[in-house]
Chains A and B, each alone.
Chain A
Amino acid sequence: MTAHPLNWQRYLLALIITGGVFWLAISISNRIHNERVKEIQSIENNISMNILSLETQFDLLAEVSCDEIDNTILSKELNSLAERLGYMEQQRGKDDTEVERLKEYYSLMQIKDYLLMKKIGKECGDEPVSILYFYSNEGDCPDCEKEGYVLTYLRENYPGVRVYAFDYHIGLSAVSTFTSMYNVTENLLPSVVIGKKTLYGFQEKETLEALLPESLKKPNDTSETDRGIPTKTTTKK
């Protein structure tokens, strides 16, 4: 019969190597996460700068023409930021304080952009098409995901439409003011504000498309016809 001596050094060495691999993996992952945070911060800084620039341009409106105000860059940046924040929130969870802070900042910038666009619209006579979307991702809004798809579709297919999405539970007083302005409550989510209408519960793509100004619909219809995709909403001029 043979004795079975235990080689504790091997157990320890295996533990050190395994621990080392874990430490390395977590370090690399955290480092990349920090890079992501930096990229988001950089986009937020850009947006902040652009908002300030637009505000300044707006203040100078008396001196410059409406044509010189370019808000398309800002719209693209806000979309890019939404995309990145959504991804980070999925990756790190909504309890990540860093992501939460970035999201709060994003919400504030959306509000600023919304207000500014309204002002510019009034002044320049070019009323912007804005959609406010209130959602919750705490598991209490089963239709929010579906509504998200519809609004993503609108944002991608109607470049003239600015969609502002707000997490109902973000805990930001500015967003709370917004929700009380439009009588949005937790049990009415998802809620969509388009023009002067506030719609509660899930809204189909066709319902929201019907509320868009006719001028916005043409490019989308053309592109879909070109692709050969059958669509229920063929609103052609």
Chain B
Amino acid sequence: MHLYSDTSLLVTSVFLTYVTYAVLFISLYVEVFYTLSFFEKGSLTKPEEPPEKPRHPKPLPDVTILVPCWNEETTVEKTVHSLLSLNYPKKKLFLFLIDDGSTDNTWDIMKTFEGHPQIRLFQKENGGKHTALNLGLEHVQTEIVGSLDADSFVHPEALLRMVDTFQKDKDVMAVTPAMKIYRPDSLMRLIQHAEYLLGVFLRKAGANMNALYVTPGPFSLFRTIIFEKIGNYKNAHLTEDMEFAMRMQHNGYRIGNRSDAYVYTVGPKTLKALYKQRLRWTYGFINNARDYRTLFFNPKHGDLGILIMPTAMFFLFAAIFFSGVALFTWSKDIWKGVEQLRAVGFQFPDFSLPTWFFFNTDAIIFITAAVLALTLGILVIGKKIGGEEPRIIWWDTLSFLLLYGAIATLWNIAAVYKTLTSKKVFWR
């Protein structure tokens, strides 16, 4: 029963309501836009054609995979073995293992591959991932070059499928894979598992409209000539894979995607580790986007310039806004609870089911439900094209929908703060 209805905060509420409607409109619009782009080329109805037995086989190009390593003693061996197990002619596949001044046993493990006909080893002083990649690039003599982080593993068919995409579209200068989380065995990894499958969908849709702005470290492939045209990797605020993709877009080169080329990456297990990784990514996005601000609102760059880059930046701040609203509302509710406790002491809460009258049926609730439903739909499609088995309950999806928004706020705020105060971020 309410003998007093709190409307004192309505002035703020009215403002917040309008902003919330605007943010929800843009969110839903972008989701719908991505979905339309995904289906425009029949991505679901016409699955990727298997390249294993093409009608008119073209000769496969030589490929070099760079594996930059810095203190990766626990995973590097498995990474190399997964590359050696790729279904690709041995004479056409070369691996460059580059130790970027590791302080653990990484170099010793790498040396066990010494003398392998497909493998070349490099060791250098620590200078950052981009310097390791650039060292490898100096020695590449193949038509296609890619990289694989030493904490990732590839599906045996991934390379053949991605090369197939290069062969089908001569304009494509880079091909991104479908990234998945390797063994999601903790809550944080479960959340990332769903997030990466959402990414499988978004990357496919993004490639359809040529609006990808990241060529992920785990197994993106390039035509080697692109490095001659636009230069090697840069430090780029510790997100060289993002900067390089933006540079490609800036110069008008096409980035494709192969949604059945699976690459498994070891996701951070704890919130702290995830926070550090995402802080670096978000900080990198803000700062690289600032460096390539000419991409924004520029019709020359198509959907990327008009919609994708501006809304990617917008969502970063929208997430912070929504978290602020949630925090404001919860604090208000907690304060009310304390006031009530002080006024009348503890009262047993009424557990009886409220009648329909008291269900919140504000339009915002229905619109939020529509946004969530579409997100869920996208996730389901992401799972389908990501080759996931259907299940009754997807714990990863549930954890993602419930928690991701809240934890993402942590690194979003930190990244904005560090940008504003010109503070640096670190790899680990």
Which of the residues A2, A21, A39, A155 comes within 8 Å of B3, measured between beta carbons? A155
Q: Is B348 an interface residue (CB 8 A)?
A: yes
Chain A residue with Cβ nearest B29: A18
CB distance from B65 to the nearest CB of A (A): 25
Chain A contacts for B301, CB-based, 8 A: 4
Q: Is A126 an interface residue (CB 8 A)?
A: no
A26 to B364 CA separation, bound complex (whole angstroms): 8
Report yes or no: A163 in contact with B3, Cβ–Cβ below 8 A.
yes
A30 to B362 CA separation, bound complex (whole angstroms): 8
Stretch touching chain B among A50-58, A85-93, A173-181: A85-93
Report yes or no: A149 in contact with B344, Cβ–Cβ below 8 A.
yes
Report yes or no: A144 in contact with B4, Cβ–Cβ below 8 A.
yes
CB distance from B295 to the nearest CB of A (A): 11
Q: Is B162 an interface residue (CB 8 A)?
A: no
Instruction: Enumerate A1-21 residues with CB–CB distance to B below 8 Å.
Output: 1-7, 10-11, 13-15, 17-18, 21
Report yes or no: A205 in contact with B343, Cβ–Cβ below 8 A.
yes
CB distance from B368 to the nearest CB of A (A): 9
Chain B residue with Cβ nearest A93: B10
Chain B residue with Cβ nearest A26: B363
A146 to B306 CA separation, bound complex (whole angstroms): 51
Q: Is B421 an interface residue (CB 8 A)?
A: no
Chain A residue with Cβ nearest B4: A148
Residues of chain B at interface, number, CB under 8 A: 56
Chain B contacts for A138, CB-based, 8 A: 7-8
A87 to B307 CA separation, bound complex (whole angstroms): 40
Chain B residue with Cβ nearest A139: B8
Report yes or no: B3 in contact with A133, Cβ–Cβ below 8 A.
yes
CB distance from B360 to the nearest CB of A (A): 7
A133-151 to B contact mask, C-beta < 8 Å, 1/0: 1010111000011111111
Chain A residue with Cβ nearest B366: A25
Q: Is A36 an interface residue (CB 8 A)?
A: yes
Chain A residue with Cβ nearest B370: A21
Chain B contacts for A1, CB-based, 8 A: 251-253
CB distance from B407 to the nearest CB of A (A): 27
Stretch touching chain A among B33-41, B104-112, B115-123: B33-41
Report yes or no: A83 in contact with B339, Cβ–Cβ below 8 A.
no
Which of the residues B36, B361, B370 comes within 8 Å of A32, measured between beta carbons? B361
Q: Is A231 an interface residue (CB 8 A)?
A: yes
Report yes or no: B252 in contact with A21, Cβ–Cβ below 8 A.
no
CB distance from B340 to the nearest CB of A (A): 5
Report yes or no: B2 in contact with A4, Cβ–Cβ below 8 A.
no
B351-365 to A contact mask, C-beta < 8 Å, 1/0: 000000110111101
Report yes or no: B28 in contact with A87, Cβ–Cβ below 8 A.
no
Q: Is B336 an interface residue (CB 8 A)?
A: yes
Report yes or no: A90 in contact with B367, Cβ–Cβ below 8 A.
no
Which of the residues B6, B171, B252, B361 comes within 8 Å of A145, measured between beta carbons? B6
CB distance from B300 to the nearest CB of A (A): 7
Residue of B1, B4, B14, B28 with most chain A CB atoms under a 10 A cut-off: B4
Q: Is B342 an interface residue (CB 8 A)?
A: yes
Report yes or no: B348 in contact with A227, Cβ–Cβ below 8 A.
yes
A148-163 to B contact mask, C-beta < 8 Å, 1/0: 1111110110000001
Chain B residue with Cβ nearest A133: B3
CB distance from A127 to the nearest CB of B (A): 23
Q: Is A62 an interface residue (CB 8 A)?
A: no
Report yes or no: B171 in contact with A82, Cβ–Cβ below 8 A.
no
Which of the residues B7, B342, B360 comes within 8 Å of A146, measured between beta carbons? B342
Report yes or no: A5 in contact with B29, Cβ–Cβ below 8 A.
no
B24-63 to A contact mask, C-beta < 8 Å, 1/0: 0100110011001100100000000000000000000000
Report yes or no: A151 in contact with B7, Cβ–Cβ below 8 A.
no
Q: Is B304 an interface residue (CB 8 A)?
A: yes
Instruction: Enumerate B290-304 residues with CB–CB distance to A below 8 Å.
Output: 299-304
- With A29-B361, A86-B1, A148-B2 known as contacts, the answer to whether A153 contacts B347 (CB < 8 A) is yes
Chain B residue with Cβ nearest A9: B36
A142 to B209 CA separation, bound complex (whole angstroms): 55
Report yes or no: B339 in contact with A145, Cβ–Cβ below 8 A.
yes
A91 to B360 CA separation, bound complex (whole angstroms): 8
Residue numbers of B with Cβ under 8 A of A are: 1-10, 13-14, 25, 28-29, 32-33, 36-37, 40, 171, 209-210, 251-254, 299-307, 336, 339-340, 342-348, 357-358, 360-363, 365-367, 370
Contacts A147-B4, A152-B2 aside, 6 further interface pairs with beta carbons under 8 A come to A1-B253, A22-B28, A28-B363, A79-B1, A139-B8, A150-B344
| A-B pairs, 4 with minimum CB distance | A4-B302, A86-B2, A148-B4, A139-B8
Listed by A's residue number, 22 A-B pairs whose Cβ atoms lie within 8 Å are: A2-B171, A2-B253, A3-B302, A4-B252, A7-B303, A10-B36, A11-B33, A18-B25, A28-B363, A28-B366, A79-B1, A82-B1, A85-B5, A86-B1, A86-B3, A86-B4, A90-B5, A94-B10, A135-B4, A139-B9, A153-B343, A229-B346
